[in-house]
Amino acid sequence: MVWRRRRRDWDDIFDLFGREFEFFDEVFERMVRDIDEMFRKASSGEIKPFVRGFSIRIGPDGKPEIREFGTKPEAVKAGIEERKPLVDTMETDEEVHVIAEMPGVSKEDIDLNASETTLEIKAEGENRKYFEVVELPCEVIPESAKARYNNGVLEVILKKKHPKREKKKKIKVE
């Protein structure tokens, strides 16, 4: 009877891990299908070279976040050489930082547009095109945006519209 209980516990653990990584498996399978199709088209000369990848990080809720970057499959099918940059957002008490990797363009090629909830990134260099609309984690003040670009990395800092401010109250110890 003890053996069965241990066996069931192990099955429960594997079921839990299986459910957690089900989304990752779906994304990975879709990427493999897209990449197979792109390789087939690239080898036949139907399309030009492309870049495709993904990054994984643990989100604030403790669950893995999977982000894709590179040449978009729909852009490849249409014959457009537009890439999705690898983008990461970080939040502090007062600001939102957006970091995008966009090698191969100069700062003059970059066009940024911000709203209270999104940041649109466009860049068109001689050999590369990038486009992405980043959903921001909170509302920001678009006019506060500051951006810098160095060695293929774009950093945009936006001030939060309603920064978290903790009100402290003095507590009397009796």
Q: CA torsion angle for 148, 143, 141, 145 (degrees, to 10)? A: 0
- 154 part of a folded domain: yes
Higher-scoring residue by pLDDT: 77, 165 = 165
The dihedral built from the CA positions of residue 69, 38, 20 and 17, taken in this order, carries a sign that is negative
pLDDT digits (tens, 9 = 90+) for 144-154: 999 999 999 99
**pTM of the predicted structure, to 2 decimals:** 0.57
> What is the average pLDDT across 41-58?
70
CATH number of the domain bearing residue 132: 2.60.40.790
CB neighbours of residue 30 within 10 Å: 12
Q: Which of 81, 109, 136 is the last residue of a domain?
A: 81
* pLDDT of 17 above 50: yes
* pLDDT of 92 above 80: yes
What confidence category does residue 5 fall into, taking pLDDT thresholds of 50, 70 and 90? Answer: very low
Q: What is the total count of domains within the chain?
A: 2
Higher-scoring residue by pLDDT: 48, 109 = 109
* pLDDT of 15 above 60: yes
**Residues 43 and 112 occupy one common structural domain:** no
**Residues 44 and 74 occupy one common structural domain:** yes
Give which of 110, 101, 112 is closest to 151, Cα–Cα.
101
* Structural domain harbouring 139: 85-165
Q: Which of 38, 54, 81 is the last residue of a domain?
A: 81
Q: Which of 81, 101, 123 is the last residue of a domain?
A: 81
**pLDDT score, position 73:** 59
Crossing angle (nearest 10°) for helices 22-43 and 2-20: 50
